[in-house]
Amino acid sequence: MKAEFNEQVLLKGLAKNDAKAIETIYKNNFTMVQSFVLNNNGTYDDARDIFQEAMIVLYENAKLESFVLTCQIKTYVYSICRRLWLKRLQYLNRFTTPVESLEETVSVEEDIDFQQKRNADFAIMERALGSLGEPCKSLLEAYYLEKKDMTDIAASFGYTNADNAKNQKYKCLMRLKKLFFSQYNIGE
Amino acid sequence: MDDILLLDTTERYFKGDLSDVEKARFEQLRKDVPEVDQMVVEHSMFLHQIDAYGYNREFKHQLHEVHKQLEEAGEISENAVTPRGKVIQFWNKYRRVTGIAASIAGVTALVISGLVTYFSPSSNQTQIVQLNRKIDQVMQNVRVQGNKLNAVIKSSKAPINEVALNGGSSFLIDGKGYLVTNAHVVAGSSTILVQNNKGQEFKAIIVHVDNEKDLAILKIDDEDYKPITALPYSIRKSSADLGEQIFTLGYPRDEIVYNEGYMSAKTGFKGDTMSCQIAVSANPGNSGGPVFNHNGEVIGILSTRETKADGVVFALNSRNVYQAIEELKKEDTSYNKLKAPSISKMKGMDRVQQVKQIEDCVFMVRSFTR
């Protein structure tokens, strides 16, 4: 019961980007994934990438209210890593030996597919931001991602007043939205 | 400027920064102006996306930070895991399961072997006992048979101190116990035993010998003999014809043996007119046996065979039997009642039936000397 309770606490912490929760989950599971990847033609860096990808899946799911973890975090992470690594191996044509499956696994196919869709959306946003150019990119990031106050932004960027900064931000935002929505498709 | 204000108001609306009055006015505006409403929905979607993107980016950043921290703290490291052999991995993972399985297997083996040793000896013992009983039975049977054999030997009428001399065949010419055989079969004997096809032995005496014709008449002189009222066959007075089918019965072995052949010549060895030549396979012991034609008439007495040629056998003509009887009657009148059968009852009979009737009248002759 306590272990289960701890797991729920960890998940809630993860959803809130709590550093302690992230660290605990990371510490408890990384070595397992590392040994799995290393034993299946992978490197330490592969293991890190795969594990962090799995962590993102867990994080994005933990943020959803509908998400209920039906198994241990360990099993879930292992299952995702195993699936992702298999895909990676197939993609790299390195699928020489059958992957050892000694650990218990759960079905994570849907979660991974959903995450891929989200990753695609994030990629669109990143490209749109990237192609904006400065100072629009930094201005929008400061306001929307870092949640800075308009007055502080005006000061740090060197605008004479917040209204000018707002005006600039508005123009930048229009461009960004145009770029983003030209590629973004809800249905896909 | 209106657009900037509108956007600013929208963002404040989502953040919840608007006062109640402002909020009511803004919502009224959304209802009244469709363009504003569309813009709000679009902006909400965009804000959601950029928020998610922001959190995702931040989380990724956090992960990297955590990774770095943990590496620095020594919690994780590149060398923490060295790829191990799959067998070792497998062993480590299933060590306990293997141990449990092994102990279950061991216990099962012990139980089974225990059961086997518990149950098997009893059944083995009964088998041994049964075998013993069988051997006992066999021994018993052997003893009984040995006793019987001894009794037979004791009851045998063979003279104890005498040596077997000759063996041959003979046949009845009178149901009262008169037999005809070859003279050479009984020559030089002190005791004669005859035996029928059932193995019964009777003592016999010579009542007439004609060495010239090689013919002897014996009489069974034994209380055990039961006279036969009528003989099934007759003894032919005339000689047989060439090519006639013939058959013989005799004792070349301890058992009666049937043979068949045909008349080959009317004369015997070197033109001997008292005998004839027949083609039949004959062996020592057949001497004195009867030769029948297909009607069941005795046409001869099998006597000799040519040693150099196979299947050349000579038989004394049957009419000589009558001559011998006549001579016997002349010598001793007490044999006046002796009468050879003149009518065969077996004409047209099946050969098997004929033999069945005849075989009781054909005897083995054994002569003994001191």
Report the C-alpha dihedral over residues B210, B344, B278, B251, rounded to 10 degrees.
-70
Angle at B244 between CA B238 and CA B245, to 5 degrees: 125
Per CB-CB distance under 8 Å, the chain B contacts of A55 are 59, 63
Is the Cβ pair B49, A180 closer than 8 Å?
yes
Is the Cβ pair B3, A17 closer than 8 Å?
no
The amino acid sitting at B320 is N
Per CB-CB distance under 8 Å, the chain A contacts of B84 are 39
Residue B366: CB atoms within 10 A of its CB come to: 22
What string of H, E and C letters represents the secondary structure of chain B? CHHHHHHHHHHHHHHCCCCHHHHHHHHHHHHHCHHHHHHHHHHHHHHHHHHHHHHHHHHHHHHHHHHHHHHHHCCCCCCCCCCCCHHHHHHHHHHHHHHHHHHHHHHHHHHHHHHHHHHHHHHHHHHHHHHHHHHHHHHHHHHHHHHHHHHHHHHCCCCCCCEEEEEEEEEEEECCCEEEECHHHHCCCCEEEEECCCCCEEEEEEEEEECCCCEEEEEECCCCCCCCCCCCCEECCCCCCCCCEEEEEECCCCCCEEEEEEEEECCCHHHCCCEEEEECCCCCCCCCCEEEECCCEEEEEEEEECCCCCCCEEEEECHHHHHHHHHHHHHCHHHCCCCCCCCCCCCCCCHHHHHHHHHHHEEEEEEEEC
Per CB-CB distance under 8 Å, the chain B contacts of A53 are none
Kindly state the tokens that stand for A71: 């198994």
Per CB-CB distance under 8 Å, the chain A contacts of B46 are 177, 180-181
DSSP letters of chain A? -HHHHHHHHHHHHHHTT-HHHHHHHHHHHHHHHHHHHHTTT--HHHHHHHHHHHHHHHHHHHHSTT----S-HHHHHHHHHHHHHHHHHHHTT---SPPP--S-----HHHHHHHHHHHHHHHHHHHHHHTT-TTHHHHHIIIIIS---HHHHHHHHT-SSHHHHHHHHHHHHHHHHHHHHHH--S--
Kindly state the tokens that stand for A171: 């123009």
Phi, psi dihedral angles at B299 (to 5 degrees): -105, -10
Measured distance CA(B344)–CA(B351) in Å, rounded: 14
- Per the CB < 8 A criterion, the answer to whether B255 and B285 are in contact is no
Instruction: Kindly give the pairing relationship between strand B297-305 and strand B290-293.
Output: antiparallel
Per CB-CB distance under 8 Å, the chain B contacts of A52 are 60, 63-64, 67
Is the Cβ pair A26, B86 closer than 8 Å?
no
pLDDT for residue A15: 83
Bigger pLDDT: A75 or B151? A75
Question: Which contacts of A96-100 are long-range, i.e. CB under 8 A and separated by 24 or more positions?
Answer: A96/A41, A97/A40, A97/A41, A99/A40, A100/A39, A100/A40, A100/B86, A100/B89
For A1-5, what is the mean pLDDT? 60
Report the C-alpha dihedral over residues A32, A89, A51, A35, rounded to 10 degrees.
20
Per CB-CB distance under 8 Å, the chain B contacts of A180 are 46, 49
Q: Give the closest of B51, B67, B76 to A31, CB-based.
A: B76
**What are the angstrom distances between the C-alpha of B26 and each of A178, B15, B30?**
24, 14, 6
- Per the CB < 8 A criterion, the answer to whether B288 and B174 are in contact is no
CATH match for A116-183 among 1.10.8, 1.10.10, 1.20.58, 1.10.1240? 1.10.10
Is the Cβ pair B46, A122 closer than 8 Å?
no
Q: Is B68 on the interface with A (CB under 8 A)?
A: no
Q: For chain A, which residues make up each domain, given as ranges?
A: 2-107, 116-183
**What are the angstrom distances between the C-alpha of B366 and each of A129, B82, B254, B314?**
139, 107, 11, 21
Is the Cβ pair A26, B93 closer than 8 Å?
no
Q: Give the closest of B51, B81, B90 to A31, CB-based.
A: B81
Kindly state the tokens that stand for A170: 């508005």
CATH match for A2-107 among 3.30.70.890, 1.10.1740.10, 3.40.50.300, 1.10.357.10? 1.10.1740.10
pLDDT for residue A91: 76
Quote the minimal CA–CA distance from A2 to chain B in Å: 24
Binding-face residues of A in 158-177 toward B, CB within 8 A: 166-167, 170, 173, 177
Binned at pLDDT 50, 70 and 90, residue A1 comes out as very low
Q: Is B69 on the interface with A (CB under 8 A)?
A: yes
pLDDT for residue B180: 92
Q: Is A181 on the interface with B (CB under 8 A)?
A: yes
Instruction: Kindly give the pairing relationship between strand B178-181 and strand B275-279.
Output: unpaired
Q: Provide Rg for chain A, Cα atoms.
A: 21
Q: Is A102 on the interface with B (CB under 8 A)?
A: yes
pLDDT for residue B109: 95
Q: Is the pLDDT of residue A96 over 60?
A: no
pLDDT for residue B127: 55
The amino acid sitting at B26 is F
Q: What is the pLDDT along chain B (370 residues), one digit of tens a residue?
A: 577 778 778 888 887 777 888 888 888 888 888 888 888 888 888 888 888 888 888 888 888 888 888 888 877 777 766 655 566 767 777 888 899 999 999 999 999 999 998 887 655 555 555 555 566 777 788 888 888 877 666 566 777 777 777 788 899 998 888 999 988 888 888 888 898 888 888 899 999 888 888 889 999 988 888 888 888 898 888 888 888 899 999 888 888 889 889 998 888 877 888 888 898 888 778 888 899 998 889 999 988 777 767 778 888 888 888 888 888 888 888 888 888 888 888 888 888 988 888 888 899 888 888 7
Is the Cβ pair A34, B89 closer than 8 Å?
no
pLDDT for residue B4: 78
pLDDT for residue A188: 45
Is the Cβ pair A17, B52 closer than 8 Å?
no
Distance of CA B259 to the CA centre of its chain: 33
Measured distance CA(A169)–CA(A153) in Å, rounded: 10
Quote the minimal CA–CA distance from A87 to chain B in Å: 21
Q: Is A167 exposed, middle or buried (0-12, 13-18, 19+ CB in 10 A)?
A: middle
Quote the minimal CA–CA distance from A15 to chain B in Å: 10
Q: What is the chain A residue with the closest CA to B73?
A: A27
Enter the ipTM.
Answer: 0.80
CA-based nearest residue to A17, from A55, A74, A69: A55
Is the Cβ pair A27, B62 closer than 8 Å?
no
Is the Cβ pair B47, A144 closer than 8 Å?
yes
Measured distance CA(B84)–CA(A24) in Å, rounded: 26
Per CB-CB distance under 8 Å, the chain B contacts of A173 are 7
Quote the minimal CA–CA distance from A70 to chain B in Å: 24
Per CB-CB distance under 8 Å, the chain A contacts of B86 are 39, 100
Residue B174: CB atoms within 10 A of its CB come to: 20
